Amino acid sequence: MLHVIMGPPAAGKSTFVREHAAEGDIIIDLDHIANVLAGKPIDNHEHTGDVLAVAKAARQAAIDTALTREVTVWLIHTNPSPKQRADYEKHGAEFHTIDPGKQTVMARCKAERPHGSAIAAAQWYDEHKPKRRGARQRGYTHHAHDVPRKRLLLAMRDGEPCWWCGLPMHKDKRRNWDGQALAADHSNAHGAKNGEKPDRLLHSRCNSQRQDGRYDDRRPALTGKHPSEPLAPQVGAQTPQHGQQDGDAAAFVWK
């Protein structure tokens, strides 16, 4: 499953990913790649042209490789081009736009980021004016998910079981087993790709673990495992040999 996280500089994209990614997920962040290449602190946001060019090439290589693996990928991409969006859509990507509002973003840029960040943020808002018309200036907006998710939450009976893990779901995220807000899900595993609206809720990490539905027959609600554990081995699959890591055995999957 590919999640593309968009939004202006200083919007909170990295924070969103930290709050929603599960252990074992792949996180691809251009800033982090550039900082590793240049030996800069992880919270640095100012890069030379040479470092940025190499970092972009490394990011593309990471994307290409990650999409061949059975893993959830969180890609932070401020403003992908139409071609890049089309490429991501071919992989069934879900797009998340993180935007706490222009006033908040510009204040953060001026206080916490290099001078160029404020210019980039202003350009982002200029390009997204038509898309942002009428949007509430709060938190983040998840394309085609935010409104349906709110409706599902209103209709949900607090404590009803999660289809994936069987554990109770709560509107207060602190009571959920993963400590995160509930996520909107499609009972049709390819619903998002087909443009369908989500029709149920799952725990956030359960939603990430489900990926494209290929492991539905091994979900914890059927095997009795806790969702924080690796998925049960596929029936008939070999047990990893002594000294072999679980990640090397195709029969084991952990998100």
Half-sphere exposure of 128 (CA within 13 A, CB side): 21
| Cα of 137 vs its chain's centroid, Å | 21
Cα–Cα distances in angstroms (integers) from residue 229 to residues 18, 163, 219, 249, in the given order = 19, 16, 11, 16
pLDDT per residue over 82-120, tens digit each? 898 888 888 888 899 998 888 899 999 888 888 788 888
Q: What is the pLDDT of residue 149?
A: 84
Confidence of residue 138 (pLDDT cuts 50, 70, 90): very low
Q: How far apart are CA 212 and CA 40, in angstroms?
A: 37
Q: Which 8-state DSSP code applies to residue 241?
A: P
Confidence of residue 254 (pLDDT cuts 50, 70, 90): very low
Looking at the whole model, is its pTM more than 0.75? no
Q: Do 181 and 228 form a contact (C-beta atoms < 8 A)? A: no
What the chain holds in terms of domains, given with CATH numbers, is 2-142 (3.40.50.300), 146-223 (no CATH)
Q: Is the pLDDT of residue 22 over 90?
A: no
φ and ψ at 6, to 5 degrees? Answer: -115, 170
Q: Which 8-state DSSP code applies to residue 64?
A: H
* Number of Cβ atoms within 10 Å of the Cβ of 138: 10
- The helices-and-strands tally (H runs, E runs) of the chain is 10, 7
Higher pLDDT, 191 or 223: 223
Q: Do 152 and 167 form a contact (C-beta atoms < 8 A)? A: no
pLDDT per residue over 147-170, tens digit each? 788 889 888 999 999 999 999 999
Q: How far apart are CA 245 and CA 239, in angstroms?
A: 11
Name the percent of the chain lying above pLDDT 70.
Answer: 85
Burial of 126 (0-12, 13-18, 19+ CB in 10 A): exposed
Q: What is the pLDDT of residue 91?
A: 84
Q: Do 250 and 238 form a contact (C-beta atoms < 8 A)? A: no
